[in-house]
Amino acid sequence: MTTPVLSVRNLNIDYIGAETDFHAVKGVSFDIAPGELFGLAGESGCGKSTIAFAVSRLHRPPALIRKGSQILVDGRDVLTLDDAELRKFRWREVAMVFQSAMNSLNPVLTIEDQFYDVLRTHTGISRAKARTRAAELLKLVDISPDRLSAYPHQCSGGMRQRIVIAICLALNPKLLIMDEPTTALDVVVQREILQRIDVLRKQLGFSVLFITHDLSLMVQVSDRIGIMLEGELVEVNDAQTIYRAPQHAYTRKLWASMPRLHGTQITGEVTP
């Protein structure tokens, strides 16, 4: 078996409070293989974003990653990296697309400058070379290179989201983390973007950790899915099993709560 790109082992994360701590992630372990699209699903507050933040080491106090937790990217423990190593690690090995990422572009810089910012910091290449690379990256996400001179407010929400994805791919990361990347977008735009991601990950070979609360969407795009409930990973299975033969009672409950587009409608009775 090939080494997994991401291997999370016994991850425990607490949010430290004045009186009590909140145990947000409880002993979570999972692997993501090279080129795999792994989905993490669950309702608000179940700890899915907390895991994503831990993998890119973005947590600050009061979040505390407990001793004994391991996050291995390509065999190296992310939790032991020092600041200099961390700077090299982020973007080059793991890049992250945030929820409402389309609002994370700097409003006073052109699209080209935002690419240059990343490329200069991480590779130190010249302005002209950065421009060529940025144009290439934009083409990957179906945006015309004319847009390089545009400002974020001149682009639609879907376009901005695709630009953020292109910037994330600038250094050929091994793992792309996407935390609810299309929640704020329309279904048609959402479909365009995810279809593009699906093509790109097969073409470029990166893995994806995809986080969403939309289970139907997740079954469509993911290879394997993990279902989270109150900080625990209660079921991990391939996407079709999660849909057709869910093993955990909570997974079944989630499906029973989701109105169907075709066929027999759900009964509307869910035992809590």
Partner 1 sequence: MSDAPILALDNVSKIFGRADNPLYAARDVSFALHSGRTLALVGESGSGKTTAARLIMREYFPDKGQLLFRGAPMGKADSKALKAYRSSVQMVFQDPFASLNPAHTIHYHLDRPLRLHQRGLSRAQRRAAVEELLQRVKLDPGQLMAKFPHELSGGQRQRISIARALAVNPQVIVADEPTSMLDVSVRLGILNLLNDMKRQLGLALLYITHDIATARYVAEDIMVMYAGQIVEWGDMEAVLGNPQHPYTRLLLSAVPDPDRRFSEAGAELDQIETIRRQSALPQPDIRQVADNHFIRPMP
Residues forming contacts to partner 1 in the complex (CB under 8 A) are: 43-44, 186-192, 194-195, 198, 213-217, 219-221, 243, 253-254, 257-262, 265-266, 268, 270, 272
Angle between helices 157-168 and 127-140 (to 10 degrees): 120
Contact predicate 237/215, CB 8 Å: no
- Work out how close the CB of 122 gets to partner 1 at its nearest, in angstroms, rounded to a whole number: 31
- Look up tokens 């990166």; give the residue: 206
Angle between helices 157-168 and 111-123 (to 10 degrees): 10
Contact predicate 115/146, CB 8 Å: no
- Work out how close the CB of 127 gets to partner 1 at its nearest, in angstroms, rounded to a whole number: 33
Smaller CB distance to partner 1: residue 43 or 77? 43
- Work out how close the CB of 232 gets to partner 1 at its nearest, in angstroms, rounded to a whole number: 17
- Work out how close the CB of 258 gets to partner 1 at its nearest, in angstroms, rounded to a whole number: 6
Smaller CB distance to partner 1: residue 131 or 191? 191
Q: Which of 232, 267, 248, 219 is nearest to 37 (CA)?
A: 219
- Work out how close the CB of 22 gets to partner 1 at its nearest, in angstroms, rounded to a whole number: 17
Q: Point out which residues pair with 211 in neighbouring strands.
A: 40, 179
For the record, the structure tokens of 11 come out as 């991850």
- Work out how close the CB of 259 gets to partner 1 at its nearest, in angstroms, rounded to a whole number: 4
Smaller CB distance to partner 1: residue 15 or 243? 243
Smaller CB distance to partner 1: residue 40 or 73? 40
Smaller CB distance to partner 1: residue 113 or 214? 214
CA distance 66 to 260: 41
Contact predicate 184/103, CB 8 Å: no
Smaller CB distance to partner 1: residue 109 or 189? 189
For the record, the structure tokens of 83 come out as 């600041």
Residues 6+ apart with CB under 8 A from 212: 39, 41, 180, 181, 182, 183, 218
* Residue 269 exposure: Cα atoms within 13 Å on the Cβ side: 1
